[in-house]
């Protein structure tokens, strides 16, 4: 029977999630390292299960394997059966029934809690849902997660005051729950929260699991006694193997039977972790065997055999391209104007820096000055162009690997244009340049977007900001060398000159030189100075008739590099699904 994400008919059975003999091996050199070893278990609708174990026990690995985020690929081999309602977890239809809340809270700090939930509902629910239905679902989720009081408060971050850590975590949960999934994975949802906030998060999860019939599996680290006893069941891992799986009462009873009972007034979660980390491997094998013997057969979870289970299908198409574009554009504009400190900095920093650079190159474009030289004149233009390239690329290099969820920067074009106006407004008149001001702004703008596109590709390929920063010199330093200032194109070895055609800055500088030293600009200059700049044009292989070609190449670089970025991002996403 086909039903929408939350429109379920009465009498539908609860969802079953089961996994059997799940193993994971990673090939390191010529040896195989076993990360997970034959782990089995099952959850029935409405259960909240804790996944515990010492560091390196395989908690997160198991969570990622069960969620389908890690599969056999390359040096990783995954085996076992993983079923949701007796169907393998594969394909987009089944994946839409699964939610995964990462340990790191990936939220837009300038959005309110309500806006974050609405954003998810607007883009992820089928078109068959009316705006009113989506709004009602958002309000219902706010109420169920206890977020009504902070619904209109910014999410916040280190720089912007916002909601508390517990409220932020519940917002992350709510964003995923909008789709009413049947299976929810959470990676350490209580990490960084105080005892009360952690208890509140788990309690809300338990209430929603019981209400909606979904299964919840989460890794957890050092829970308080109050938090730990909110869970229906617990799976304890050691060295990639299952040490215990069952109800919390069964864990306490079986530990007692093995002679390792938890003393009164001790935290059971802390106690079992202490046993796992202080006993020898041989002793733990014996304890595990005694625990299994003491556990009643009824407490051993078994694979479900009921074949008559609920199926679900998302009805209708989801938000189209233009709906997504509008939503993303609105969110990014909000991010710009609500982040007052960042907005002011994005205006003042380029303004102050370029005024300083312009004063260093004061009136280098004034040919009536006795100290005028073509090299200094060209150097001033080059400095502004280089500053613009790094200014456009640096934010994306730093931010994108941390913020892959926001991979379309719709505000980038207007912000880059504003930056171009500020930069040349500060430098043009002080430096005494003579080319068209508007042309300088447009050239700076398109060259900056090309540089940002290159940085975007590096960010898509890089695993983290550190890798992106280390890769940046290999991408951008050659552009400086081929710009024509440090060495003219004619002086570069012939077998290396081809690389200049891959450098956006080269084409931007070609256009800048044509704008500043074009025939219509220098026709009234002294003949000697005309000869000096004409030689500059010739030695850098610039054809004055190819201005539109240079502009077209820049646009081509933007389009091609961004398409490659999309492909790289899609492949990285495919690695998790």
| pLDDT tens profile 157-171 | 877 888 988 888 889
Structural domains in the chain plus CATH codes? 13-299 (3.40.50.300), 339-576 (no CATH)
Comparison of pLDDT for 11 and 107, the residue scoring more:
107
**Could you give the 3-state DSSP secondary structure of residue 244?**
strand
Q: Is the pLDDT of residue 320 over 60?
A: yes
What does the pLDDT read at residue 304? 40
Minimum mean pLDDT range among 316-320, 333-337, 349-353, 556-560 = 316-320
Does the pLDDT value for residue 41 go beyond 80? yes
Which band of pLDDT confidence, cut at 50, 70 and 90, is reported for residue 348? Answer: confident
pLDDT of residue 313: 39
Average pLDDT, the chain: 82
Q: What is the mean pLDDT of residues 353-374?
A: 91
Quick one: pLDDT at residue 6? 40
- Greater model confidence, 371 or 304: 371
What integer is the mean pLDDT of 546-572? 87
Sheet strands side by side (includes 98-101): 98-101, 183-187, 215-219, 48-52, 233-238, 241-247
Q: Is the pTM of this model over 0.75?
A: no
pLDDT band at 11 (very low <50, low <70, confident <90, very high): very low
At 452, is the pLDDT very low, low, confident or very high (cuts 50, 70, 90)? confident
Please name which of 193, 204, 213, 242 lies closest in space to residue 62, comparing C-alpha atoms. Answer: 242
The answer to whether 36 and 65 have CB atoms below 8 angstroms apart is yes
Residue 191 token pair: 């990490």
Cα torsion 191, 196, 197, 202 to 10°: value is 80
**pLDDT at residue 23 in the model:** 93
Closest CA to 175 of 63, 231, 100, 91: 100
The pLDDT-based confidence of 1 (bands split at 50, 70, 90) is very low
Top mean pLDDT of 2-16, 280-294, 334-348 is at 280-294
**Of the given ranges (139-153, 215-229, 293-307), which has the lowest mean pLDDT?**
293-307
Residue 9 has pLDDT above 50, yes or no: no
DSSP string, 173-226: HHHHHTT--SEEEEESTTTT--HHHHHHHHHHHHHHHHHH--EEEEE-SS--HH
More confident residue, 207 or 89: 207
Q: What is the DSSP letter of 73?
A: B
The reported pLDDT for the residue numbered 308 is 35
Tokens (6 digits) for 378: 């060209």
296-313 average pLDDT score:
42
Q: Kindly state the average pLDDT of the residues 514-524.
A: 89
Does 458 have pLDDT greater than 50? yes
pLDDT at residue 399, rounded to an integer: 62
Residue 218 has pLDDT above 80, yes or no: yes
Q: Which long-range contacts (C-beta less than 8 Å, at least 24 apart) are formed by 138-141?
A: 138/114, 138/178, 141/117, 141/174, 141/177, 141/178
Share of the chain above pLDDT 90, in %: 25
- Position 90 confidence tier, pLDDT thresholds 50, 70, 90: low
**Of 302 and 61, which is predicted with more confidence?**
61
Q: Can you tell me the distance from the alpha carbon of 505 to that of 385, in angstroms, rounded to the nearest whole number? A: 8
Q: Is 228's pLDDT higher than 70?
A: yes
Distance between CA 343 and CA 337 in Å, rounded? 7
Q: Is the pLDDT of residue 356 over 90?
A: yes
Coil, strand, or helix at residue 146? coil
**Across residues 189-209, what is the average pLDDT?**
84
Short-list 374, 370, 389, 420, CA closest to 516: 374
Contact 159, 338 (CB under 8 A): no
Taking every pair of Cα atoms in the chain, the longest distance, rounded to a whole number of angstroms, is: 102
Q: What is the mean pLDDT of residues 27-34?
A: 83
- Contact (CB, 8 A) for 457 and 404: no
Q: What is the pLDDT of residue 40?
A: 92
pLDDT over 80 at 439, yes or no = yes
Query: 396-408 pLDDT, tens per residue?
Result: 766 655 554 444 3
Strands 48-52 and 215-219: parallel
How many of the other CB atoms lie within 10 Å of CB of 536? 20
* pLDDT value at residue 428: 94
Per-residue model confidence (pLDDT) at position 91: 57
More confident residue, 574 or 243: 243
Give the per-residue pLDDT at 412. Answer: 55
pLDDT at 51 over 90: yes
Cβ neighbour number for residue 30 with a 10 Å cutoff: 5
Give the residue ranges of DSSP H helices in 400-489. 412-431, 437-461, 465-481
Which pLDDT belongs to residue 315? 47
Q: Which residue has the higher pLDDT, 333 or 147?
A: 147
CA nearest 212: which of 394, 390, 48, 31? 48
| Cα four-point dihedral sign 74, 100, 47, 89 | negative
Helix (H/G/I), strand (E/B), else coil: 77? strand
Which of 88-97, 102-111, 341-350 is predicted with the least confidence, judged by mean pLDDT? 88-97
Is residue 243 within 8 Å of 237, Cβ to Cβ? yes
Percent of the chain with pLDDT over 70: 86
In angstroms, how far is the first alpha carbon of the chain from the final one? 26
Q: How far is CA 495 from CA 191, 491, 492, 499, in A?
A: 55, 11, 8, 9
Query: Which stretches within 462-526 are classed as H helix?
Result: 465-481, 504-517, 519-522
């Amino acid at each position: 029977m086909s039903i929408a994400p939350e429109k379920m008919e009465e009498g539908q059975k609860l969802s079953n999630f089961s996994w059997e003999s799940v193993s994971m091996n990673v090939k390191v050199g010529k040896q195989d390292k076993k990360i997970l070893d034959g782990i089995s278990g099952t959850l029935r609708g409405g259960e909240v299960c804790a996944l515990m174990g010492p560091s390196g026990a395989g908690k997160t690995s198991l969570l990622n394997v069960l969620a389908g985020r890690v599969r056999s690929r390359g040096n990783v081999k995954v085996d076992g059966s993983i079923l949701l309602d007796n169907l393998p977890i594969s394909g987009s239809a089944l994946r839409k029934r699964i939610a995964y809340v990462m340990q790191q809270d990936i939220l837009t700090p300038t959005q309110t809690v309500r806006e974050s939930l609405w954003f998810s509902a607007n883009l992820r629910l089928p078109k068959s849902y009316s705006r009113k239905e989506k709004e009602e679902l958002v309000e219902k989720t706010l109420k169920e997660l206890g977020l009504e009081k902070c619904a209109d408060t910014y999410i916040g971050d280190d720089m912007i005051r916002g909601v508390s850590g517990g409220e932020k975590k519940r917002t992350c949960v709510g964003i995923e729950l909008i789709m009413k999934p049947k299976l929810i994975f959470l990676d350490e949802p209580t990490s960084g929260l105080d005892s009360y906030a952690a208890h509140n998060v788990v309690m809300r999860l338990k209430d929603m699991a019981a209400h909606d019939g979904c299964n919840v599996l989460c890794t957890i680290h050092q829970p308080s006694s109050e938090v730990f006893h909110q869970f229906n069941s617990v799976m304890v891992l050691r060295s990639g193997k299952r040490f215990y799986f069952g109800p919390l009462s069964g864990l306490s009873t079986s530990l007692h039977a093995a002679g390792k009972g938890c003393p009164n007034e001790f935290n059971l979660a802390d106690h079992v972790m202490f046993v796992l980390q202080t006993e020898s491997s041989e002793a733990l094998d014996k304890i595990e065997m005694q625990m299994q013997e003491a556990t009643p057969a009824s407490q051993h979870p078994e694979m479900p055999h009921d074949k008559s289970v609920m199926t679900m299908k998302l009805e209708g198409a989801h938000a189209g391209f233009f709906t997504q574009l509008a939503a993303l554009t609105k969110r990014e504009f909000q991010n710009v104007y609500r982040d007052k400190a960042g907005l002011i900095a994005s205006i003042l920093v380029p303004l102050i820096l370029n005024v300083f650079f312009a004063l260093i190159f004061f009136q280098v474009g004034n040919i009536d000055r006795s100290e005028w030289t073509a090299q200094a004149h060209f150097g001033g233009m080059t400095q502004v162009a280089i500053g613009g390239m790094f200014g456009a690329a640096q934010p994306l290099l730093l931010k994108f690997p941390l913020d892959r969820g926001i991979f379309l920067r719709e505000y980038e074009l207007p912000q880059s244009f504003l930056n171009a106006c500020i930069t040349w407004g500060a430098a043009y008149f002080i430096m005494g340049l003579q080319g068209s001001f508007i042309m300088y702004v447009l050239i700076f703008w398109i060259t900056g977007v090309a540089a940002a596109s290159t940085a975007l590709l590096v960010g898509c390929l890089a695993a983290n900001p550190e890798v992106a920063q280390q890769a940046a010199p290999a991408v951008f330093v050659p552009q400086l060398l081929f710009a024509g200032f440090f060495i003219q194109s004619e002086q570069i070895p012939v077998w290396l000159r081809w690389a200049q055609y891959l450098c956006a800055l080269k084409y931007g500088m070609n256009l800048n030189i044509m704008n500043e030293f074009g025939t219509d600009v220098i026709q009234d200059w002294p003949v000697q100075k005309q000869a000096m700049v004409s030689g500059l044009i010739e030695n850098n292989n610039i054809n004055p008739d190819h201005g539109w070609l240079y502009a077209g190449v820049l646009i081509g670089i933007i389009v091609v590099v961004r398409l490659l970025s999309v492909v790289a991002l899609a492949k990285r996403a495919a690695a998790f699904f």
